[in-house]
């Protein structure tokens, strides 16, 4: 079951690290050996993609490899217009695909970008 309302906010051109623990609703889920893909969209247009080894890593929270870490660089958001964007993370493990979290990214206008 996907965790919804995993919302976060950042400013244009800002480095940000987003950490989301993954559970089965109650217990931590180890993602060791899983393929992870995260994306941010404006409507049907995908603006940012991060995958395991290319902006996505795993960290230990309550269990081994149960936290997805998404690293956004300043270059990822420097030219993204301020506004609200949807985001989603999908995991493939053992042949099964599952959306593990979704939410809204709020991009604030930066005057220094």
**Residue 104: inside a domain, yes or no?**
yes
Query: pLDDT tens digits, residue range 84-108?
Result: 999 999 999 988 999 999 999 999 9
**Residue 113: inside a domain, yes or no?**
no
Q: What CATH number has the domain bearing residue 59?
A: 2.60.40.10
pLDDT at 112 over 90: yes
pLDDT bracket for residue 25 (50, 70, 90): confident
**Domain count for the chain:** 1
HEC letters along the chain: CCECCCCEEEECCCCEEEEEECECCCCECCCCCCEEEEEEEECCEEEEEEEECEEEEEECCCCCCCEEEEEECHHHHCCCCCEEEEEEEEEEECCEEEEEEEEEEEEECCCCC
**Residue 42: inside a domain, yes or no?**
yes
Query: pLDDT tens digits, residue range 26-77?
Result: 899 999 999 999 999 999 999 999 999 999 999 999 989 999 999 999 999 9
For 62, the domain range is 8-108
């Amino acid at each position: 079951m996907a965790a919804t309302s995993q919302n976060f906010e950042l400013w244009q051109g800002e480095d940000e690290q987003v950490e989301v623990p993954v559970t089965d609703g109650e217990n931590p889920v180890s993602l060791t050996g899983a393929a992870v893909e995260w994306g941010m969209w404006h409507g049907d247009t995908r603006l940012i993609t991060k995958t395991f080894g290319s902006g996505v890593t795993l960290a230990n929270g309550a269990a081994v490899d149960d936290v997805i870490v998404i690293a956004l660089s300043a270059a990822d958001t420097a030219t993204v217009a301020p506004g609200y964007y949807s985001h989603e993370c999908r995991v493939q493990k053992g042949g099964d695909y599952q959306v593990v979290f979704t939410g809204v990214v709020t991009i604030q206008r930066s005057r220094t970008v």
